[in-house]
Chain A
Amino acid sequence: MLLVGVGYCVGLALFLSSCSSIRPAHRVTPLGEEGAFPPRYSIVFIIHGDGGYLYHDVRGNAYRADEETLAKAITVAQRNPQAEVFIFHEKRRRHFLLFFPRRDGKFYYYRHGRLLAEETYWRNQGQSRFDPEVELYHRFRAEERPGLTRLFLYFGHEIPEFGGAGYDASYSKRRFTVDDLADGLKRITGDSAKFDLIVLSTCFNGTPHTIAALAPHGRYIIASPDNLHLSYFDLGPFEQLEVGLPDGDVSAFAKTLARHAFDRQTEDMQTAVTVAVYDADRVQGFLDSVDSVYDRALATLKGQTLASIEHFDCAEDPAYIRPGMSEGVDVFYRPPRFGRLKHKQSHSGWECWRFLK
């Protein structure tokens, strides 16, 4: 009976800690004591983990994509003494004793290589998808210095362009689309600033609609217009940014990063590997020219099940072939080693939708 009683007490304590409205902030170092100079780089990671993120390497070892990425993001944070790094880990919702929900977001804040704050949060609080993340960002961000380089990285499954229900395994009715992401980016940077680089480590987000939605909030965007394996883009080049991005040349850094990610993926992948770098200003002409065509296509596809539609290279449809199609896009592409597309030798860098043939 004593053991049962102790068990109930422990259970009650865990329950109270999981449901408490008290913010469980764990500030490691008081802000303001971590160093006098403002950071030179500001990096925001959003790592989605509320879904199927299991993958294996070629030796058969199993990994969780979100947990692997979290560990790498922490390494990036620790190895950049001139950066502030925000890491948001969106986790699957778990319950204590099957009924009592536990916090499903975890936030880490690093500045000058040191962990200054770590806290859990609820992801479903607020009107907009990224309300909790935006609030935490503005609560912790350092004073801005001129020439601050802003980098944003998102890791997860393909961000939907329409529909969007079911993206989170824990919230089947909750919707998430690229427009929600664009709204979150806007509220992080404010109206007058942009990210210098946005990285979407997802499948199929190199589309006219996604790039057009994010272009107002970023100077350069890296995305995959085709499939991308869950081992994601390698974060090696982000370690020691003062070496990899010393003079603020984000264009060159983005291409180096894309090339590096491509090389790493092609080492072991048998599936297609496609990484594209979009210069937000230079692709605007193409985006304007296909905007109405793409929107019409999206409108006809809305309401269809994903089993009845498919992605394809926009260059395969004459409606999208425009003189400026390759302007401002650098594409690194290797076809899959097997399957129907193994002989496809190039990719335009733009992915579109159509009905399954």
Chain B
Amino acid sequence: MSGRTVFRFMVIIFVMVYAGIAFGQDGLQKYFNGAALKVKATTDPTQKREILNNSFEKMSKALDKVQGSPLVSKDDRAGLELFKATLQEKQDELTGLNGYERVSDEQLDAFSDYVVQDMEQADRSITISLVAALLIIIIIILLV
């Protein structure tokens, strides 16, 4: 193997590792931000609800799969469980279940911002490791 091939291989590995780290760290916020942008891009409330609902369901499925993975720690499982519960609350509010008032059609854009902003607080209540975050994003991509 020539020196140039080794060098290229190393560069590819570095790029992939760094890209993976960035992808895992920011992927969850970007996922919900993408959904919010789609919600605001349409004027049809039914479509808005469908986009939000799909984003919650896809994320919940990914969380279920990651929770069962041997790669995630016990602490991660607890964090994922809490994350899933907060998602379920939002889904309940969107549809008006479990004591929530249903989010009105006029409030759907604001609600999509609420979902994004709730993920972007300066708290530490949901702690998910990089490995778990990366797995979630990979599974979401596979679910498309």
**Separation of A7 and B11 alpha carbons in the complex (Å):** 11
- Identify the 10 closest CB pairs spanning chains A and B, nearest first: A270-B114, A307-B78, A203-B123, A55-B120, A307-B82, A203-B122, A305-B78, A227-B121, A56-B33, A60-B37
**Separation of A142 and B110 alpha carbons in the complex (Å):** 48
B26 touches A54 (CB 8 A): yes
Chain B residues, Cβ within 8 Å of A60:
33, 36-37
Is A208 in the interface zone, CB < 8 Å from B? no
A271 touches B122 (CB 8 A): no
B114 touches A56 (CB 8 A): no
Interface centre among B14, B103, B122, B124 (most CB of A within 10 A): B122
Is A43 in the interface zone, CB < 8 Å from B? no
Which interface class (under 10, 10 to 19, 20 to 34, 35 or more) fits B?
35 or more
Is B71 in the interface zone, CB < 8 Å from A? no
Which interface class (under 10, 10 to 19, 20 to 34, 35 or more) fits A?
35 or more
Is B117 in the interface zone, CB < 8 Å from A? yes
Q: Measured between C-beta atoms, what is the minimum distance from A329 to chain B in Å?
A: 20
Interface centre among A97, A156, A158 (most CB of B within 10 A): A158
Q: Measured between C-beta atoms, what is the minimum distance from B30 to chain A in Å?
A: 7
Chain A residues, Cβ within 8 Å of B127:
166, 306
Q: Pick the contact of A58: B79, B89, B113, B126 (CB < 8 A).
A: B113
Chain A residues, Cβ within 8 Å of B120:
54-56, 229-230
Q: Pick the contact of A227: B33, B123, B130 (CB < 8 A).
A: B123
Chain A residues, Cβ within 8 Å of B17:
98
**Separation of A1 and B14 alpha carbons in the complex (Å):** 21
A54 touches B110 (CB 8 A): no
Q: Measured between C-beta atoms, what is the minimum distance from B126 to chain A in Å?
A: 8
Q: Pick the contact of B118: A52, A97, A271, A310 (CB < 8 A).
A: A271
Is B51 in the interface zone, CB < 8 Å from A? no
**Separation of A54 and B22 alpha carbons in the complex (Å):** 11
A56 touches B29 (CB 8 A): yes
Contact with B along A326-340 (1 / 0, CB 8 A): 000000000011111
Chain B residues, Cβ within 8 Å of A201:
122
Q: Measured between C-beta atoms, what is the minimum distance from B24 to chain A in Å?
A: 10
Interface residues of B in 97-141 (CB under 8 A from A): 103, 107, 110-111, 113-114, 116-118, 120-127, 130
Interface residues of A in 142-197 (CB under 8 A from B): 156-158, 160, 166-167, 169
Is A42 in the interface zone, CB < 8 Å from B? no
